[in-house]
C-alpha cells in the first residue's frame, strides 16, 4: 500500500502565496492610510495652534492698548494709527520679557523673502525716549509673527471723537481717540481663511489678570512664541 507523501502540493503552495500576498497588500494599504491620517492630523493641529497663538497675541496686546500722545517727536501725534495693511499702537510689556515700560508696536505686512506670500512683521521699541543720563539704549526689535500670507486686512470701528456715529473704517489716521474695535482678517497662501478676530480696546485693568507676568502668547527674548 502506497504511503501518502508528506508536504504540500504545488497548487496548495501557490494558493497560500496568493493569500499571503493579498494579506500583505491589505496590511500595507492600512498602514499607508494610517500614516496619511496621522500626518494630516499633525498638520491640522499645527495650523490650529499657530492660528490660536497669533490670535491671542492680537487679543492680548490690542486689549491693553494705551491712548497716549507723543509730544517728543518733531510733530505731536496720537499713539494709535492704522490702515488696512499697517497698524501702530502702544501697550505695556512685563519685566519678564526684558523690556520694561510701554512699547510702541508697529505691525506691517511686507513681502516675503522666499516667494511664498507676504509676512506679518512687528517692530517693537520703547515709546518714551531715554533720558540723557542713561548710557544704554534699548534697540528696536523686528520679529516675523506670521508667514505665507495671501491677504491681510485691518479694520477699525469707532467715531471721530464721538461727534459722529460709529462705523467700520479702513483707516484710523490723525485722530485723537482710540477705535472701539479692531478686526483682523487673514487668508494664507494655501487657501486657508482664518476666523475673523475682533478685539475690543480696553484700558481698564491692564494686565490685571496676569499678576505682572506677560501672557504666554507673546514675545520672549526676541522670538515670537508661535514660531
Write out pLDDT tens, residues 18-50.
888 888 888 888 888 888 887 777 676 666 677
Residue 85 CA to residue 110 CA, distance in Å, equals 9
Do the domain assignments include residue 27?
no
Bridge partner list, 123: 106, 142
pLDDT for 186 equals 93
Bridge partner list, 157: 168, 181
Give the pLDDT band (50/70/90) at residue 56.
confident
Do the domain assignments include residue 9?
no
Mean pLDDT across the stretch 117-141? 73
pLDDT for 206 equals 38
pTM of the model: 0.65
The tally of domains found in the chain comes to 1
- pLDDT surpassing 50 at residue 216: no
Do the domain assignments include residue 219?
yes
Do the domain assignments include residue 12?
no
> For 204, how many CA atoms within 13 A lie in the half-sphere containing its CB?
1
Do the domain assignments include residue 31?
no
Domain housing 119: 49-224
226 vs 170 pLDDT, higher one: 170
Do the domain assignments include residue 7?
no
- pLDDT surpassing 80 at residue 197: yes
Give the pLDDT band (50/70/90) at residue 225.
very low
Do the domain assignments include residue 211?
yes
Do the domain assignments include residue 15?
no
Here the cell at position 60 is: 492680548
Amino acid at each position: 500500500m502506497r504511503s501518502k507523501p508528506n508536504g504540500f502540493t504545488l497548487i496548495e503552495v501557490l494558493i497560500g502565496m496568493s493569500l499571503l500576498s493579498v494579506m500583505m497588500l491589505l496590511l500595507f494599504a492600512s498602514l499607508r492610510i494610517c500614516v496619511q491620517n496621522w500626518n494630516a492630523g499633525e498638520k491640522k493641529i499645527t495650523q490650529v495652534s499657530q492660528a490660536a497663538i497669533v490670535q491671542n497675541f492680537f487679543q492680548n496686546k490690542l486689549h491693553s492698548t494705551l491712548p497716549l500722545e507723543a509730544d517728543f517727536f518733531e510733530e505731536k501725534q496720537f499713539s494709535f494709527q492704522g490702515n488696512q495693511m499697517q497698524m501702530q499702537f502702544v501697550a505695556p510689556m512685563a519685566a519678564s520679557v526684558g523690556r520694561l515700560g510701554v512699547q510702541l508696536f508697529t505691525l506691517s505686512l511686507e513681502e516675503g523673502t522666499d516667494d511664498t506670500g507676504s509676512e506679518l512683521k512687528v517692530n517693537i521699541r520703547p515709546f518714551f525716549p531715554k533720558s540723557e543720563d542713561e548710557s544704554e539704549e534699548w534697540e528696536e526689535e523686528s520679529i516675523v509673527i506670521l508667514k505665507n500670507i495671501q491677504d491681510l486686512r485691518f479694520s477699525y470701528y469707532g467715531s471721530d471723537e464721538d461727534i459722529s456715529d460709529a462705523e467700520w473704517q479702513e483707516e484710523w489716521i490723525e485722530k485723537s481717540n482710540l477705535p472701539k474695535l479692531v478686526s483682523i482678517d487673514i487668508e494664507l497662501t494655501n487657501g486657508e481663511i482664518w476666523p475673523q478676530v475682533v478685539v475690543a480696546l480696553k484700558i481698564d485693568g491692564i494686565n490685571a489678570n496676569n499678576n505682572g507676568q506677560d501672557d504666554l502668547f507673546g514675545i520672549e527674548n526676541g522670538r515670537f512664541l508661535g514660531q
